[in-house]
């Protein structure tokens, strides 16, 4: 928030600079105007309230809610300026607009702040919210604050707990052991973001982070994997990029599971599970006759068994595990050099009974498929590379289909294409790959050693966090009854305050006996409370439903109200949320639909992802010292200028390179608008209220009228479609330039008052979505009594936008040679006639033959000469 004293200081210095005799009011003083309207808007909390029941069409525009770090940055300003412009545009078009804001207010930074400043997380968070809310209000964003949602308050998070119980009832929440990052020095779990590139702890740079197994709660998002994938097709209003990212994230792949039996021979190699089954996942069962080894992930359970009695193998496998972990931490698991170890054991290919060696390899990962593959060097890049290195057999079983040739050429290995024909594959030889996949899967199913399956990259969502500042998971552990859910009537499980937050020893809540010790609701005996809290992505998965019915204390929301407002018509936010937040939200919606709470399949109709705000070619950051503070911009140039510039400097979907001199130009433009209306507003008070529909006579009046309607069209079209607000604002600038060029004519009375009134009023309305403070000031200056917020958007009239004369460029052989001026309704014949009469063109075509005349109506004439 710009502290009041700061703003006043700036206002004073500005007044002093300009106090040179001019009348005070013809100077655009953003601070004075914005202070005045800020005051009025504060005193009217109902101003931006959505109507609960309305005959109007609804429009739900939403910007992603911020984490309350304590200060808005330019990325926020850009995000909210886009949303606010749209909300205001929709209001002026007569819609019942829902435009809410809230706070994603659980999360780790509050705990860090608690440790650093000895401030309780709640106090720190609520203080930050107050600061940021004040900043938003100062920027003039039109939010319905009566619906504000703060996720860290019990009236919100109790519904997280309620949903969790419902998920648990439906078997969609479950507990299982899972790996977490553990720092032995801190004695706590670390988020992935807290593990450094070298695999060490962010606080102890010489301490390697370990992987530990912990019992964690998971949500079964994978049950919806297919629908989440399929319904991406129902989202034409989403950026292609985001849809693709989600598709890849879900990562569906069809294939088959095939069982290879581990054999009994060579028992001296350990006490491994002779006769055990190795399940492999393959998308190319058609290549199975070419399998010459089995490759297991180093962390595969069978490998553990095989290595149990074999210290040498154990040592080598551990090394493979270390290599994988290192590569994973560096983020380039694909770059790791392939290594492997033979186990000395064999497994049987169920298709041909062949015994093939079983290896452990570092290029197989445990968390995809089954963690085991059949290696087919002839038809897979990675298997080929591995086989070459370790001299394993490479057996060709697919030949490329070459049309019209008798003999088939041996392909260059590895041959991985699908359009081939099987050879050396027993009864399946001669089939195409496609047919073979079907027949061989069938064969495996009949034989009981395999089946068709679908694998996803998407994993179930682990929501347990060993942290304090989050929603308590409403579960109990009773010695007698085991895992017991907290009964609904006992919700919310309140997050206790005055908890000592340190980095030592796992979940802070576990050290609060009043919290951790509870009574079992089943047997009345002692029970231990779950002391982990929920991932904050749970909070943001459904918050936008809560806005529609924010004060409901009997349910998360009323389904009827949600049905009126959903789906969200337009959601706007950073592309960094393209995967997690947006996929979790979609999952949550589908779960709520299956519960019968909502009737929409998808939460968001249209999604818009804005670009980043950068400076000097780099993302703004403290370490680079290139941060631009919104507060400072507001004090120096005003909220309108800051907002308008954030829309003007680049199309909203692209990155925006912030330039201080650019915002100065915007401030100058706002000044030009202000001064024009200041000088010409008087006319408005005696002007007519009816729009000018007749074509004006004087050329100055015509020019103004024409430009006005062209501008209305450009701005309106952009709101309807591609949202290039930068060009909308350019268009308004051009209109203002025309008005300035007409000032002599206006002074001479060549522009009728009615038009002068209309052009000013429309100009102010066109500007209102982008620069609301100035627009309101000028609206009042024009003597308008009704609210600008819901003033009708001007109508474009093509008749009035029409040019009378056109300048037609004339090309000869595609090169511009001259321009001719013709009446706007000129026929092709007339244009050609004029062109042939043009001196330059006559000179250029002299002595040559015109072979072809290409006329693009109103656009261009091209003469092809020889």
Partner RNA sequence: GCCGGGAUGGCGAAAUUGGCAGACGCAGCGGACUUAAAAUCCGCAGGGGCCAAAAGCCCUGUGGGGGUUCGAUUCCCCCUCCCGGCACCA
Ranges within 699-718 binding RNA (CB under 7 A): 714, 717-718
Among 4, 5, 16, 20, the residue binding RNA under the rule CB under 7 A is 20
Among 88, 345, 465, 724, the residue binding RNA under the rule CB under 7 A is 724
d(CA 438, CA 285): 9
Nearest of 234, 80, 202 to residue 603 by alpha carbon: 234
Considering CB under 7 A, how many residues would be counted as binding RNA? 96
Nearest of 672, 673, 742, 740 to residue 701 by alpha carbon: 742
Are 556 and 197 contacting, i.e. CB atoms less than 8 angstroms apart?
Answer: no
Nearer to RNA, 396 or 614 (CB): 614
The structure tokens listed for 474 are 């409403």
Residue 241 is a binding residue for RNA (CB under 7 A): yes
Nearer to RNA, 334 or 798 (CB): 334
Where does this chain touch RNA (CB under 7 A) — which range of 7-15, 63-71, 471-479, 852-860? 852-860
User: Please, which of residues 817-846 interact with RNA by CB under 7 A?
Assistant: 817, 819, 840, 844
d(CA 430, CA 421): 6
SS3 per residue for 112-169: HHHHHHCCCHHHHHHHHHHHHHHHHHHCCCCCCHHHCEECCCHHHHHHHHHHHHHHHH
Among 18, 40, 56, 848, the residue binding RNA under the rule CB under 7 A is 18
Residue 432 is a binding residue for RNA (CB under 7 A): no
Residue 721 is a binding residue for RNA (CB under 7 A): yes
Residue 237 is a binding residue for RNA (CB under 7 A): no
d(CA 482, CA 477): 5
Among 666, 703, 746, 757, the residue binding RNA under the rule CB under 7 A is 666
The answer to whether the Cα torsion of 284, 287, 290, 291 is positive or negative is: positive
d(CA 152, CA 167): 21
d(CA 535, CA 824): 64
Beta bridge partners of 432: 421
Nearer to RNA, 480 or 619 (CB): 619
Q: How far is the CB of 151 from RNA (least distance, A)?
A: 24
d(CA 700, CA 866): 44
Nearer to RNA, 248 or 827 (CB): 248
Residue 443 is a binding residue for RNA (CB under 7 A): no
Helices (H) and strands (E) in the chain, counts: 29, 32
Q: Which residue has the tokens 């490329």?
A: 400
Nearer to RNA, 496 or 671 (CB): 671
Q: How far is the CB of 301 from RNA (least distance, A)?
A: 14
Q: How far is the CB of 817 from RNA (least distance, A)?
A: 6
User: Please, which of residues 775-814 interact with RNA by CB under 7 A?
Assistant: 807, 809, 811, 813-814
Residues 6+ apart with CB under 8 A from 716: 793, 796
Q: How far is the CB of 124 from RNA (least distance, A)?
A: 28
Q: What SS3 class is residue 805?
A: strand
The structure tokens listed for 465 are 């966090």
Among 519, 737, 748, 827, the residue binding RNA under the rule CB under 7 A is 737
Where does this chain touch RNA (CB under 7 A) — which range of 244-252, 430-438, 542-550, 586-594? 244-252
d(CA 811, CA 346): 78
d(CA 707, CA 711): 6
What is the CA 841 to chain-centroid distance, rounded?
55
Q: What are phi and psi of 507, to 5 degrees?
A: -55, 120
Nearer to RNA, 248 or 429 (CB): 248
Site string for RNA, 381-400 (x = CB under 7 A): -x------------------
Residue 269 is a binding residue for RNA (CB under 7 A): no
Where does this chain touch RNA (CB under 7 A) — which range of 441-449, 535-543, 592-600, 720-728? 720-728
Among 119, 552, 659, 784, the residue binding RNA under the rule CB under 7 A is 659
CB burial of residue 819 (10 Å; 0-12, 13-18, 19+) = middle
Residue 457 is a binding residue for RNA (CB under 7 A): yes
Nearer to RNA, 15 or 455 (CB): 455
Nearer to RNA, 273 or 809 (CB): 809
d(CA 403, CA 460): 46
Q: How far is the CB of 808 from RNA (least distance, A)?
A: 8
Q: How far is the CB of 499 from RNA (least distance, A)?
A: 33
User: Please, which of residues 193-232 interact with RNA by CB under 7 A?
Assistant: none
Nearest of 697, 812, 813, 683 to residue 753 by alpha carbon: 683
Q: Which residue has the tokens 């390179």?
A: 657
Residues 6+ apart with CB under 8 A from 325: 199, 211
User: Please, which of residues 667-706 interact with RNA by CB under 7 A?
Assistant: 668-669, 671-672, 675
Q: How far is the CB of 863 from RNA (least distance, A)?
A: 9
Nearer to RNA, 8 or 653 (CB): 653
Q: How far is the CB of 732 from RNA (least distance, A)?
A: 8
Site string for RNA, 274-293 (x = CB under 7 A): -------xxxx---------
Q: How far is the CB of 410 from RNA (least distance, A)?
A: 22
Among 211, 248, 402, 787, the residue binding RNA under the rule CB under 7 A is 248
The structure tokens listed for 346 are 């064999």
Nearer to RNA, 85 or 173 (CB): 85
Residue 462 is a binding residue for RNA (CB under 7 A): no
User: Please, which of residues 296-325 interact with RNA by CB under 7 A?
Assistant: 297
Site string for RNA, 168-197 (x = CB under 7 A): ------------------------------
Residue 726 is a binding residue for RNA (CB under 7 A): yes
Where does this chain touch RNA (CB under 7 A) — which range of 16-24, 47-55, 155-163, 517-525? 16-24
Site string for RNA, 48-67 (x = CB under 7 A): --------------------
Site string for RNA, 551-590 (x = CB under 7 A): ------------------------xx--x-----------
Q: What are phi and psi of 253, to 5 degrees?
A: -145, 135
DSSP state of 568: B
Where does this chain touch RNA (CB under 7 A) — which range of 44-52, 129-137, 374-382, 622-630? 374-382
Residue 95 is a binding residue for RNA (CB under 7 A): no
CB burial of residue 298 (10 Å; 0-12, 13-18, 19+) = buried
Among 305, 657, 780, 833, the residue binding RNA under the rule CB under 7 A is 657
Nearest of 219, 217, 162 to residue 487 by alpha carbon: 162
d(CA 289, CA 107): 53
Angle at CA 12, nearest 5°, toward 10 and 13? Answer: 70
User: Please, which of residues 320-359 interact with RNA by CB under 7 A?
Assistant: 331-338
Nearest of 309, 302, 290 to residue 261 by alpha carbon: 302
Q: How far is the CB of 816 from RNA (least distance, A)?
A: 5
Are 638 and 667 contacting, i.e. CB atoms less than 8 angstroms apart?
Answer: yes
CB burial of residue 522 (10 Å; 0-12, 13-18, 19+) = middle
Among 162, 249, 537, 796, the residue binding RNA under the rule CB under 7 A is 249
Q: How far is the CB of 613 from RNA (least distance, A)?
A: 11
Q: Which residue has the tokens 């702040």?
A: 113
Nearer to RNA, 392 or 495 (CB): 392
Q: How far is the CB of 307 from RNA (least distance, A)?
A: 19
Nearer to RNA, 187 or 854 (CB): 854
């Amino acid at each position: 928030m710009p502290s009041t004293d700061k703003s006043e200081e700036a206002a004073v210095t500005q007044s002093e600079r300009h106090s040179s005799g001019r009348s005070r009011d013809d100077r655009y003083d953003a601070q004075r105007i914005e202070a005045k309207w800020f005051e009025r808007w504060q005193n009217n909390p109902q101003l931006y309230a959505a109507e609960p029941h309305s005959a109007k069409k609804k429009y739900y525009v939403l910007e992603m809610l911020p984490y309350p770090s304590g200060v808005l940055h330019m990325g926020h300003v850009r995000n909210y300026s886009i949303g606010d412009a749209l909300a205001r545009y929709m209001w002026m078009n007569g819609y019942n607009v829902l435009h809410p804001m809230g706070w994603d207010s659980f999360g780790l930074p509050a705990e860090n702040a608690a440790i650093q400043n000895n401030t309780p997380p709640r106090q720190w968070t609520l203080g930050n919210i107050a600061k940021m809310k004040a900043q938003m209000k100062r920027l003039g964003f039109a939010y319905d604050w009566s619906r504000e949602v703060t996720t860290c308050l019990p009236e919100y998070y109790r519904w997280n707990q309620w949903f969790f119980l419902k998920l648990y009832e439906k078997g969609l929440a479950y507990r299982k052991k899972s790996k977490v990052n553990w720092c032995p020095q801190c004695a706590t779990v670390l988020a992935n973001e807290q593990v450094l590139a070298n695999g060490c702890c962010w606080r102890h740079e010489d301490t390697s982070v370990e992987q530990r197994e912990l019992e964690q709660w998971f949500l079964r998002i994978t049950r919806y994997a297919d629908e989440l994938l399929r319904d991406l097709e129902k989202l034409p209003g989403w950026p292609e990029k985001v849809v693709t990212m989600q598709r890849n994230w879900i990562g569906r792949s069809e294939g088959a599971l095939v069982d290879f039996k581990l054999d009994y021979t060579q028992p001296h190699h350990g006490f491994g599970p002779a006769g055990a089954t190795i399940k492999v996942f393959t998308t190319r069962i058609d290549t199975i006759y070419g399998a010459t080894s089995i490759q297991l992930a180093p962390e595969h359970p069978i490998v553990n068994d095989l290595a149990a009695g074999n210290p040498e193998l154990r040592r080598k496998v551990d090394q493979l595990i270390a290599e994988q972990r290192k590569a994973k931490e560096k983020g380039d698991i694909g770059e790791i050099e392939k290594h492997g170890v033979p186990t000395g054991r064999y497994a049987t290919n169920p298709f041909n009974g062949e015994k093939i060696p079983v290896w452990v390899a570092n290029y197989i990962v445990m968390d995809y498929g089954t963690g085991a593959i059949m290696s087919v060097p002839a038809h897979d890049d990675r298997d080929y590379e591995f086989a070459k290195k370790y001299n394993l057999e490479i057996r060709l079983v697919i030949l490329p289909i070459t049309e019209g040739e008798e003999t088939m050429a041996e392909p260059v290995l590895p041959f991985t294409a699908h359009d081939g024909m099987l050879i050396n594959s027993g009864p399946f030889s001669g089939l195409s790959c496609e047919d073979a996949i079907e027949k061989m899967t069938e064969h495996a199913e009949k034989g009981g050693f395999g089946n068709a399956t679908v694998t996803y990259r998407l994993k179930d969502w682990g929501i347990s966090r060993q942290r304090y500042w989050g929603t308590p998971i409403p579960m109990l552990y009773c010695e007698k009854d085991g895992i017991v859910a907290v009964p609904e009537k006992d919700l919310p499980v309140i997050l206790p305050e005055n908890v000592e937050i340190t980095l030592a020893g796992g979940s802070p809540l576990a050290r609060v006996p009043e919290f951790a010790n509870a009574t079992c609701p089943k047997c009345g005996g002692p029970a231990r409370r779950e002391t982990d809290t929920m991932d904050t992505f749970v909070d943001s998965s459904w918050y936008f439903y809560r806005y529609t019915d924010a004060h409901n204390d009997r349910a998360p929301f009323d389904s009827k109200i949600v049905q009126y407002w959903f789906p969200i018509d337009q959601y706007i936010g950073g592309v960094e949320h393209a995967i997690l937040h947006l996929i979790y939200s979609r999952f949550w919606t589908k779960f709520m639909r299956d519960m019968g709470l909502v009737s929409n399949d998808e939460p968001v109709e249209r999604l818009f992802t804005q670009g980043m705000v950068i400076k000097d070619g780099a993302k703004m950051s403290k370490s680079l010292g290139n941060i631009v503070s919104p507060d400072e911009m507001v004090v120096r140039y005003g909220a309108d200028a800051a907002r308008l510039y954030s829309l003007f400097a680049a199309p909203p979907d692209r990155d925006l390179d912030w330039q201080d001199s650019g915002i100065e130009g915007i401030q100058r433009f706002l000044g030009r608008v202000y001064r024009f209306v200041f000088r010409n507003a008087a006319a408005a008070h005696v002007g007519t209220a009816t729009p000018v529909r007749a074509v004006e006579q004087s050329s100055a009046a015509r020019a103004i009228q024409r430009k006005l309607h062209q501008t209305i069209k450009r701005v309106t079209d952009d709101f309807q479609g591609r949202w290039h607000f930068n060009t909308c604002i350019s268009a308004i600038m051009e209109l203002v330039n025309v008005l300035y060029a007409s000032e002599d004519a206006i002074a001479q009375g060549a522009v009728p008052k009615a038009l002068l009134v209309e052009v000013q009023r429309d100009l102010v309305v066109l500007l209102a979505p982008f620069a609301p403070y100035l627009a309101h000031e000028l609206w009042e200056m024009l003597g308008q009594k009704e609210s600008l917020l819901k003033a009708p958007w001007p109508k474009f009239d093509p008749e009035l936008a029409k040019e009378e004369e056109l300048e037609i460029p004339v090309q000869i052989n595609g090169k511009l040679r001259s321009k001719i001026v013709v009446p706007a309704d000129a026929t092709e014949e007339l244009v050609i006639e004029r062109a042939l009469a043009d001196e330059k063109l006559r000179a250029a075509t002299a002595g040559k033959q015109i072979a072809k005349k290409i006329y693009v109506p109103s656009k261009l004439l091209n003469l092809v000469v020889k």
